[in-house]
Amino acid sequence: ESTDGSESSAGFPPGFLWGSATAAYQIEGAVREDGRTPSIWDTFSRTPGKVLGGDTGDVAVDHYHRMRDDVRMMADLGLSAYRFSVSWPRVQPGGSGPASGRGLDFYRALTDELLAAGITPSLTLYHWDLPQELETPRAGGSAAEGGWPQRDTANRFAEYAGLVAEALGDRVDLWTTLNEPWCSAFLGYGSGVHAPGRTDPVAALRAAHHLNLAHGLGVQALRAALPGRARIGVSLNPSAVRPLTRSADDLDAQRRIDALANRIFTGPMLSGAYPSDLMADTAHLTDWSFVREGDAATAGAPLDFLGINYYAPTVVSGSPPGGDADRHDDHGASDHSPWPGAQSVTFHRPPGELTAMDWSVDPTGLYDLLTRYAREAPGLELMVTENGAAYDDKPGPDGAVHDPDRIRYLHGHLAAVRRAMLDGADVRGYFLWSLLDNFEWAYGYSKRFGAVYVDYETLERTPKSSARWYGRVARTGVLPSAVPDAAR
């Protein structure tokens, strides 16, 4: 039924990867099995007040025990790729030393199942679950807190990357070092809404640097261990940041947030240097002496693809027009900012329709990011490694789950991807976040991002109507010109 629509605006090229994405701590459960040790998210989620409803990933959606059924479901839907992450404390308990054979066996089995089903595996090494032992050593270590603000964590990551590459390099061709280092650094150590929950702007900047360094050292370790056919990238969550007005103050707020959200990572990773305006904007906080000679160049190790995770745009102004009442952010009760040195910047809710996260539906932001990085990094392949939305999905009386809002969201964003491709962006794949409803970090199980509904009592899976709609797009490679009537 596949049409050669590669020249048309609705048809994606043959070989385009149609995937879904997940992350280990959000779906696996089995946190105490087969030698796994705690990660910072185990500790954080068990700390009262940190996660809505006191939810943890102890069971999550039990993917660790239902992996074969989950792969069969992807194959039945017609998906051609699957992006998952490896749990570091499962495959290298404690964060250093030898690999755990039992931990690696799970990912060997997962990738075998995927390959047997004709699904391309895309492996992310780090999706936020740092071994707790690297954050706070139980004994022997220095009294200081560790984690990403400490330089040695970057070396530990490179060692871990090499170990996973040795084990899985024969069967996985798509490798991603880090998922959204902005979140690890600024939500983990700045605002404290993510693990490990620290609130120190300088620790957050140090973390960002050591994540850049870890990425570069990780790329080196992967290149050394993987066969030549492997493709290596990183997944960022670049902010599509717009000024509220064209005033000088608002344009400067846009520049500052672009530096703190985007160029702090793309500077080193794509050009081997930190932006000078970023260092000037934060000079009152730190002299950046944690950046050593050669670090930014290390972070700039050549990449094969850039992964872009996109949900919603950001609108900023330079001075609060209506005082604090206008202030909007999605960082809950935290008084701490994830934007070091940007106290003058106010965040505004963009106009238009909102998802269950209160994030606005705005496909133009995705178009803008894809065409921006196509321009700034010519020759680099792009991949949409996450895009999707949470809605208040509920099974109907017949047990079916109809999610027309999600179909419209996906349709709009896929059209934006195709438009960006026709305007020169070399996009090789799209991964819907997420395959399954899952543990949505600080929101626990209260937000459903899945194309597949999960009943949290029985853990039974039910593909929503969006899963069937997306599966058809994946099988045909053609985006229908209109969304189904039910989704209007």
Q: Would you please indicate which residues are annotated as catalytic (active-site) residues?
A: 180, 386
Q: Please return the burial class of 34, using the count of CB atoms within 10 Å of its CB with bins 0-12, 13-18 and 19+.
A: middle
Which residues in 265-304 contact ligand GBH (CB under 6 A)?
A: none
Residue 258 interacts with ligand GBH (CB under 6 A): yes or no: no
Q: Does 306 bind ligand GBH (CB under 6 A)?
A: no
CB 166 → ligand GBH: shortest distance, Å?
26
Note whether 4 binds ligand GBH by CB under 6 A. Answer: no
150 is in an annotated binding site: no
CB closer to ligand GBH, 110 vs 261: 261
Tell me: does residue 326 bind ligand GBH (CB under 6 A).
no
Q: Which is nearer to ligand GBH, 16 or 431 (CB)?
A: 431
CB of 268 to ligand GBH, least distance (A): 20
Selected from 12, 16, 17, 23, the binder of ligand GBH by CB under 6 A is 23
Nearest 10 degrees: Cα torsion 467, 472, 475, 478: -120
Task: Decide if residue 317 touches ligand GBH (CB under 6 A).
Answer: no
Nearest approach in angstroms of CB 37 to ligand GBH is 21
Strand 120-126 relative to strand 81-85, pairing? parallel
Which residues share a beta bridge with 478?
11
Tell me whether residue 132 is annotated as binding: no
* Smallest distance from ligand GBH to CB 134, Å: 20
What is the phi/psi pair of residue 33, to 5°?
Answer: -95, 155
Told to check if 437 binds ligand GBH by CB under 6 A, we report no
> Is 129 among the residues that bind ligand GBH (CB under 6 A)?
no
What does the alpha-carbon distance between residue 132 and residue 95 come to, in Å, rounded to a whole number? 8
Considering the rule CB under 6 A, would residue 92 count as an interface residue with ligand GBH?
A: no
When asked if residue 85 is in the footprint of ligand GBH (CB under 6 A), the reply is: no
- Is 28 within any annotated ligand binding site? no
Q: What is the closest distance, in whole angstroms, from the C-beta atom of residue 329 to ligand GBH in the complex? A: 5
338 scored as a contact of ligand GBH (CB under 6 A): yes
Nearer to ligand GBH, 150 or 337 (CB): 337
Assigned token pair, 175:
């490798």
Q: Pairing mode, if any, of strands 427-433 and 17-21?
A: parallel
The answer to whether residues 241 and 261 touch, using CB atoms and an 8 Å cutoff, is yes
- Omega into 465 within 30° of 0, i.e. cis? no
Query: Of the candidates 314, 317, 465, 476, which one interacts with ligand GBH according to CB under 6 A?
Result: 314
Residue among 42, 80, 36, 34 at smallest CA distance from 471: 80
Cβ proximity to ligand GBH: between 291 and 312 the closer is: 312
Report d(CA 107, CA 91) in Å as an integer: 9
CB 388 to ligand GBH: min, Å: 7
Assign residue 444 a region (left: φ > 0; alpha: ψ between -120 and 50; beta: otherwise). Answer: left
Tokens read off for 408: 């419209």
Question: Per-residue string for binding with ligand GBH, 373-402, x by CB under 6 A?
Answer: -------------x----------------
Q: Return the H-helix or E-strand segment holding 250.
A: helix 248-258
- The C-alpha atoms of residue 92 and residue 300 are separated, in whole angstroms, by 26
Give residues 449-468 in contact with ligand GBH (rule: CB under 6 A): 449
Q: Quick check: 350 binds ligand GBH (CB under 6 A)?
A: no
End-to-end alpha carbon distance in the chain: 25
Residue 391 annotated as binding site: no
- Distance, in Å, from the CA atom of 302 to the CA atom of 31, rounded to the nearest integer, reads 35
User: DSSP readout, 328-368?
Assistant: --S-TT--S-SSTT-TT-EEEPPSS-B-TTS-B--HHHHHH
- Residue 237 annotated as part of some ligand binding site: no
What does the alpha-carbon distance between residue 342 and residue 255 come to, in Å, rounded to a whole number? 11
- Select the residue whose beta carbon is closest to ligand GBH and give its number: 330
Determine if 423 is a binding residue for ligand GBH (CB under 6 A): no
Compute the least distance from the CB of residue 186 to ligand GBH, in Å.
8
> Is 428 strand, coil or helix?
strand
Residue 346 found at the interface with ligand GBH (CB under 6 A) = no
Identity of the residue, 23 or 454, whose beta carbon is nearer to ligand GBH in the bound complex? 23
3-state secondary structure (DSSP) of residue 109: helix
Binding residue per annotation — 26?
yes
Residue 311 marked as a ligand binder: yes
Rounded least distance, CB 224 to ligand GBH, Å: 27
Q: Please pick, from the candidates 112, 152, 330, 460, the single residue that binds ligand GBH as defined by CB under 6 A.
A: 330
Evaluated on CA atoms 45, 46, 51, 55, the torsion sign reads positive
- Report in angstroms how near the CB of residue 26 gets to ligand GBH at its nearest: 6
Q: How many whole angstroms separate alpha carbon 73 and alpha carbon 173?
A: 22
Q: Is 124 in the site for ligand GBH (CB under 6 A)?
A: no
CA distances from 444 to 85, 334, 439, 447 (A): 19, 17, 5, 7
Task: Indicate the SS3 state at residue 63.
Answer: helix
Window 169 to 228, contacts with ligand GBH (CB under 6 A):
179-180, 183
Q: Which is nearer to ligand GBH, 34 or 326 (CB)?
A: 326
Q: What sign does the dihedral 198-200-203-209 (CA atoms) show? A: positive
Q: Kindly tell me which of 150 and 438 has the beta carbon lying closer to ligand GBH.
A: 438
Known binding residues for substrate are 26, 127, 179, 311, 433, 440-441
Binding region for ligand GBH (CB under 6 A): 23, 26, 179-180, 183, 237, 309, 311, 314, 329-330, 338, 347, 386, 433, 440, 449
